[in-house]
Chain A
Amino acid sequence: MKIHEYQAKEILRKYKITVPNGYVTENAGEASSIYEKLGTSVVVVKAQIHAGGRGKGGGVKLAKSADEAKELANQIIGMNLVTHQTGPEGKEVLRVLLEEGMDIKKEYYVGITLDRKQSKPVIMVSTEGGMEIEEVAAKTPEKIVKETIDPNLGLLPNQASYLSYSLGLEGDYAKLAAKFFLGLWKAYDNEDASMVEINPLVTTGDGRVLALDCKMDFDDNAEYRQSEHPPLRDLTEEDDLEVEASKYNLNYVRLDGEIGCMVNGAGLAMATMDIIKHHGSSPANFLDVGGGANPETVTNGFKIILSDKNVKGIFVNIFGGIVRCDRIANGIVEAAKNVNINVPLVVRLAGTNAELAKEILENSGIKMIVGDTLRDGAEKITQAIK
């Protein structure tokens, strides 16, 4: 689960990591009083959306007076912000974060994430603050310094110190940066983060080292023990249909194609998307209805798929393992009766009692095409929508 910059900085404060003074608001009218409260001659007004690249899209501005702060907040709140991460449709800004201005000496990068190859967390620092780390890794990999963290020992003081000196920091700055890294590890570890990224990390003329920006992503599997995280979820950042699907415990990802897919199991669901592409069409979604595929999940699945107006046909591909296909077939028939399916429907069932299931589908009186194999089903649905 992703969270906003202002929420991530709130978490950093808990771990005594230095972040700029700042306040978030949804009301532009409050911006001038926040300007006064911050007390610096320059105040930064930052749009709060999950996507990166906000500055380039016009979502980050400098205010030099209380009136200007209000004016800029007014401009940014409600604007449709387009960045390289939002896609061309952009994202409506609902709130801004106002922060103290500062005398920045230099910008750096620090991030912690899982190194899947080693199955351990890794901390990365770079002198190329403000740039995307993937870009730095591709063009100048020598400018990234990494340390693998033993998850049972945590980031060690000697590692933190090594990282800060490798950035070319000296004196108190080096000490403060090392302290920053240790705090950041603690936040990553305690909060069950899957990624935390400070870009940029800055040194200031008045001797501070602080997080100018922060991105944080949590491990969804750990939600049961992170009771403070669920309220941080911002549903306006998510696709409406995906939010709806999650209420039914369906794993749904909206795509931009034309064939809706309903599948049991994540791997087969991806493979079903792939075979649709292979046969010349494109998938409208990823949808894993889980192992059971009962009438309720299938009904909800149909509803979600049909809410996407790009859908021209539906391909149901279920491999009945332990659950018998005849039961799944009855479920599909029941679901199809509850939902008005006004596009071609191809159903392919494989596994236990597949033959019996085929009979049930064919004699149901519901308009559908039965697919025999994965290939047959994919061919039939791509033909049916032509």
Chain B
Amino acid sequence: MAVLLTKNSRVIVQGITGKEGAFHTAQMLEYGTNVVGGVTPGKGGQKSEHGLPVFNSIKDAVKETGANATTIFVPPPFAADAVMEAVGASLELAVCITEGIPVKDMSKIIGFLRHSKTILVGPNCPGVITPGVGKMGIMPGFIHKPGKIGVISRSGTLTYEAVSQLTAEGLGQSTCIGIGGDPIIGLPHLEAVKLLAEDPDTEGIVMIGEIGGTAEEDASLYIKENVKKPVVGFIAGQTAPPGRRMGHAGAIISGGAGTAESKMKAMREAGIYVCESPADIGKKMKEALG
């Protein structure tokens, strides 16, 4: 079954005719993803370079293709609106890859999102992959292997590192969710954990966090009370100085909040297997599964 991206997902790409969108659509198709079309306003009726139908709007795409999920490769000034278009068309899943969306734009739409039927993953994320089924995003498909471990992470390459460690230990993945490195994201750690905790095909969860905010603490509290599956955790930024943004817009310790120590403490108190070193993620999951 997996979560978010399943065999029933019919995927469109917003920004399919742009350079990034076109390139990654080709990669998604090569991985076997069920991409059914794309949206670029003004180019409706054309075919994309992959031979897929292009529509002027998501509503048109839904009517013609029965799409229920979208991957968004739209430049920052228009990305929040692109997400709202997906919400307006009642898609089940929107994965927003775009990096650099102003915080104000996300802040304005997040209330609508939380009350809609659309789940937003991202923005500023590598996307979602269900190995063997498909990928919506920019991650390299070949490092993944179908299996029973769910992965949640705010970053791109660090997620690939964790996944390759799991694969090297012989542990495949159910679904890997790159939730995004911005201060406002659609699917925070807590909500992603809930999905994987309830997924019968997921037997263990890797939760990778980083400095900034308190999303990892919130998820840890939930895990302590509700999750029986083994959870392995790592927090990036143990050596980051306070007050400095470490690449991701959301990765900053401010006013003493959002430190790695606080997150690791919350994780330990929740019974999560915490890795001090990012090289131990795969090994630790193997141990946790017994």
- Residues of chain A touching chain B, judged by Cβ–Cβ distance below 8 Å, are 114, 116-117, 119-121, 133-134, 137-138, 150-152, 189, 192, 194, 219-222, 224-225, 251, 253, 255, 257, 263-278, 282-283, 286, 288, 291, 319-322, 350-352, 373-375, 378
Residues of chain B within 8 A (CB-CB) of A282 are 239
Are A374 and B278 in contact, with the CB atoms below 8 A? yes
Q: Would A268 and B239 be within 8 Å (CB), given that A194-B103, A221-B102 are in contact? A: no
Residue B226 is within 8 A (CB to CB) of chain A in the complex: no
| Known contacts A152-B111, A267-B155; A321/B139 CB under 8 A | yes
Complex contact A274–B238 (CB within 8 A): yes
5 A-B contact pairs sorted by A residue (CB < 8 Å): A221-B103, A266-B181, A270-B211, A270-B240, A274-B237
Are B100 and A221 in touch, CB under 8 angstroms?
yes
| Measured CA separation A152–B112 after assembly (Å) | 11
CB distance from A82 to the nearest CB of B (A): 17
Report how far A121 CA is from B102 CA in the complex, Å. Answer: 13
Given contacts A194-B103, A267-B236, contact A278 B143 (CB under 8 A): no
* Residue from A134, A194, A253, A276 in contact with B244 in the complex, judged by beta carbons closer than 8 Å: A253
**Distance of A351 Cα from B153 Cα, bound (Å):** 18
Q: Are A374 and B161 in contact (CB under 8 A)?
A: yes
Among the stretches B61-69, B88-96, B245-253, the one at the interface with A is B245-253
Are the CB atoms of B157 and A321 closer together than 8 Å?
yes
CA distance A286 to B239 in the complex (A): 10
In the assembly, what is the distance between CA of A257 and CA of B154, in Å?
26
Contact indicator B153/A267 (Cβ below 8 Å): yes
Q: Identify A219's interface contact among B102, B108, B256, CB under 8 A.
A: B102
- Structural contact, A270 and B140, CB atoms closer than 8 A: no
In the complex, are the beta carbons of A150 and B111 less than 8 A apart? yes
Question: What is the CB-to-nearest-CB distance from A259 to chain B, in angstroms, rounded to a whole number?
Answer: 11
Indicate the size class of the contact surface on chain B: 35 or more
Q: What is the bound-complex CA distance between A225 and B102, given in angstroms?
A: 10
Contact of A267 among B107, B143, B158 (CB under 8 A): B158
Question: Which 5 pairs from chain A and chain B are nearest by CB?
Answer: A267-B155, A266-B247, A265-B157, A267-B158, A375-B279
Report how many A-B pairs have Cβ atoms within 8 Å: 169
Tell me whether B158 and A133 are in contact (CB under 8 A): no
B58: shortest Cβ distance to chain A, in Å?
Answer: 22
A278 / chain B contacts, CB cutoff of 8 Å: 276-277
CB distance from B124 to the nearest CB of A (A): 9
Q: Is the interface of A mostly helix, strand, loop or mixed?
A: mixed
A273 in contact with B239 given A265-B157, A352-B140 (CB within 8 Å): yes
B27 CB, nearest partner CB in chain A, Å = 7
Interface centre among B27, B76, B246, B249 (most CB of A within 10 A): B246
From DSSP, what is the main secondary structure of chain B's interface residues? loop
**Which of chain A's residues have a CB closer than 8 A to the CB of B108?**
151-152
* A321 close to B161 (CB less than 8 A): no
Find A286's partner among B181, B240, B278 (CB 8 Å cutoff).
B240
For residue B115, CB closer than 8 A to chain A, the reply is no
Name the B residues within 8 Å of A267 (CB-CB).
153-159, 181, 208, 210, 236, 247-248
Within 8 A of A (CB), among B120-165: 138-140, 142-143, 153-161, 164
Q: A117-B213, A273-B240 are in contact. Are A268 and B276 (CB under 8 A)?
A: no
Q: Which residues of A contact B56 (CB under 8 A)?
A: none
Q: Does B170 contact A (CB under 8 A)?
A: no
State in angstroms the CA–CA spacing of A152 and B104 once bound together: 10
CA distance A347 to B258 in the complex (A): 31
Given A220-B249, A271-B158, A322-B140: 9 more A-B contacts, CB < 8 Å: A114-B103, A117-B213, A133-B255, A263-B157, A274-B238, A319-B164, A320-B140, A321-B140, A350-B160
**Pick from A152, A268, A277: contact of B155, CB under 8 Å:** A268
CA distance A229 to B104 in the complex (A): 16
> Are A269 and B238 closer than 8 Å at their CB atoms?
no
Q: Is B106's beta carbon under 8 Å from chain A?
A: yes
Complex CA distance for A274 and B240, rounded to whole angstroms: 8
Give the CA-CA distance A319 to B139 in the complex, in Å.
11
Residue of B nearest to A242 (CB): B244
Question: How far in angstroms is the closest Cβ of chain A from B107?
Answer: 4
Q: Are A225 and B77 in contact (CB under 8 A)?
A: yes
Shortest B274–chain A CB gap in Å is 12
In the complex where A114-B107, A221-B103, A375-B277 touch, is A271 in contact with B236 (Cβ < 8 A)?
Answer: yes
- Residue B234 lies at the interface, judged by CB distance under 8 Å to chain A: yes
Q: Is B241 engaged at the interface, CB distance under 8 Å to the other chain?
A: yes
Given the known interface contacts A221-B103, A269-B246, the answer about A275 and B208 at a Cβ–Cβ threshold of 8 Å is no
> Are A268 and B246 in contact (CB-based, < 8 A)?
no
How far apart are B101's CB and chain A's nearest CB, in angstroms? 6
Instruction: Decide if B183 is an interface residue (CB 8 Å cutoff).
Output: yes
Q: Per a CB cutoff under 8 Å, which of A266, A277, A319, A373 touches B239? A: A277
Q: B234: which of A251, A271, A320 is its contact (CB, 8 Å)?
A: A271
A273 contacts which chain B residues (CB < 8 A)?
A: 237-240
CB within 8 A of B106: which of A119, A189, A288, A351?
A: A119
C-alpha spacing A220/B247, complex, angstroms: 12
Given contacts A150-B111, A286-B246, contact A222 B278 (CB under 8 A): no
Are B279 and A116 in touch, CB under 8 angstroms?
A: no
- A222-B104 contact in complex given A265-B156, A286-B247, A375-B279, C-beta closer than 8 Å: yes
